[in-house]
Amino acid sequence: MRYDSEEYLQAFRLQRTFPKIHDKLYAFVVARTARDPFCDLCCSTGLFGQRLEDNGYHGFGIDASMDALIKGRSAGVTLPMIGMKITYDTLVPLRERLKENCTKILIARRCLPEILGAQNFGAELGYVLRQAGVRQVFLQGRQVTHHPRNPLHTLELEIAALKGWARASDWQEDVPGCAHLVPT
Ligand SMILES: C[S@@+](CC[C@H](N)C(=O)[O-])C[C@H]1O[C@@H](n2cnc3c(N)ncnc32)[C@H](O)[C@@H]1O
């Protein structure tokens, strides 16, 4: 099933259950954070952020797809969500949104390859996260394939792309496929 599948929205609408595809990252985040304000970058329909909200966190989501945001809202997602395409040119508004919301935790599940795959401004994005006061970054990378087409096809490459944020040695990957930045 796709990450924005109608079945996930239906399950949320009817039973308030969340997609199992988010379970690993969700557990990873909850075990390492103290309910600080979060931003779910590339939130799609908002179900991951909603799950955090339902468990005492406060934050917001950002996604370029208004269609996905509307689908989430129609299914009952109450997470604040902003329609914004992250590009090199929207880094300043992104920084301001992060600051306004006192964001300390950034979630980027299957996100950086989407926004940085075509245009590599990872160093600048990392710098903006630092300026905004983000203290923890959680990544979940793409599924490994034999014939990757995206330049950021491994978690290591995603981490390296964010070099404005921290050195690769500052990252921990203690759950396969997920990484947590611990700034020094
Ligand atoms: C693979 S999906 C992952 C969605 C969600 N993080 C999840 O794990 O279920 C990638 C999402 O990134 C969004 N996206 C792609 N490029 C973007 C950009 N430049 N700025 C903001 N969102 C973007 C897409 O609309 C899509 O919802």
How many whole angstroms separate alpha carbon 84 and alpha carbon 66?
Answer: 9
What is the structure's pLDDT at 173? 66
Structural element, H or E, at residue 181: strand 178-181
- The correct CATH number of 6-181 out of 3.55.10.10, 3.40.50.970, 3.60.15.10, 3.40.50.150 is 3.40.50.150
Nearest protein Cα to ligand 1, atom 15: 114
Closest ligand 1 atom to Cα of 47: 9
Tell which one of 111, 124, 149 to mutate to probe ligand 1, the residue whose CB is within 8 A of the most ligand atoms. Answer: 111
What is the structure's pLDDT at 159? 86
How many whole angstroms separate alpha carbon 162 and alpha carbon 47?
Answer: 25
Its pTM stands at 0.95
Distance of CA 84 to the CA centre of its chain: 14
Nearest protein Cα to ligand 1, atom 12: 42
The CA 86 to ligand 1 mean position distance, Å, reads 10
Nearest protein Cα to ligand 1, atom 13: 42
Q: Which two tokens stand for residue 62?
A: 């950002």
Domain ranges of the chain: 6-181
What is the structure's pLDDT at 168? 57
CA distances to 97, 170, 171, 181 from 58, rounded to whole Å, are 14, 26, 24, 20
What is the structure's pLDDT at 162? 84
**Which class for 147: exposed (0-12), middle (13-18), buried (19 or more C-beta within 10 A)?**
exposed
Q: Which two tokens stand for residue 41?
A: 């970058």
The CA 33 to ligand 1 mean position distance, Å, reads 23
Nearest protein Cα to ligand 1, atom 8: 109
How many whole angstroms separate alpha carbon 145 and alpha carbon 110?
Answer: 14
Q: Give me the amino acid identity at 9.
A: L
Closest ligand 1 atom to Cα of 4: 9
Q: Which two tokens stand for residue 36?
A: 């600080």
91-100 and 122-132 are packed helices; what angle lies between their axes, rounded to 10 degrees?
30
What is the structure's pLDDT at 1? 87
What's the average pLDDT block by block, 10 residues per block, for the chain (184 residues)? 94 97 95 95 98 98 98 98 97 98 97 91 92 93 80 87 71 79 67
Nearest protein Cα to ligand 1, atom 27: 44
Beta carbons of 142 and 97 less than 8 angstroms apart: no
Q: Which two tokens stand for residue 166?
A: 């921290």
Structural element, H or E, at residue 52: helix 47-54
